[in-house]
Amino acid sequence: MAITEEKLNAREAARYLGLAQATLAKMRCWGGSPTFMRLGRKIVYARADLDSWLNARRATSTSDADRLPPRLTDPRPVGTALIRSTSDESLHTRIARVAGERTR
């Protein structure tokens, strides 16, 4: 990335992508967001990175779109079950338990 490349703050990037600023913030935390830079407290995005992220989400048919996450804030790969539990076990414990069940 060139030093002179245009950078957008989080609000401008969300507007450019057509997303809510809160959605973009969730994506940064949970994964699946465009590449970003942290400059102290400030988050910035290179316009080229936003364009690359958008291009990676192009689809020509609904069957082609199956390779994409069903929701923007859903970083898990398509076809992976959502792990739910009513007990107090941690997410890491649940993932380890489910992974162990799949390998048996």
pLDDT (tens digit per residue) in 14-49: 999 999 999 999 999 988 899 999 999 999 999 999
pLDDT at 51 over 70: yes
74: exposed, middle or buried (Cβ count in 10 Å: 0-12, 13-18, 19+): middle
33: exposed, middle or buried (Cβ count in 10 Å: 0-12, 13-18, 19+): buried
* Per-residue confidence band for 57, with pLDDT thresholds at 50, 70 and 90: confident
5: exposed, middle or buried (Cβ count in 10 Å: 0-12, 13-18, 19+): exposed
By three-state DSSP, how is residue 38 classified? Answer: strand
End-to-end CA distance of the chain: 46
pTM: 0.62
